[in-house]
Structure 1
């Protein structure tokens, strides 16, 4: 999962939404939640380019 998240971050950098992805990759943390086996917890470092301060997102789960 960590490599998938890093791939998405690199694509966002290509689109000039994020910057310094590789410099911050060691701060990317992904681990299974200790209480809920169906949950992953992630810390995603996002150095957003200057001027981009509003973000909306959507996660589509395919179960």
Structure 2
């Protein structure tokens, strides 16, 4: 029974350590992914915003001569 408790303790500690390392690895990888995604997202949003502004201005320019 004592050996079983020690074995269970060792297994649980091993599982906990592996889970903790996997969690930290996942957090670091997700942090890196978010750090890479944020500038790309900002650039894409700014490009989309500029394109939308130019498109709306073109539409306004096209509509203004008709008046």
Q: What TM-score does the superposition give when structure 1 sets the normalisation length?
A: 0.25
Higher relative contact order (CA 8 A, sep 6+): 1
Larger radius of gyration: 2
More strand by share: 1
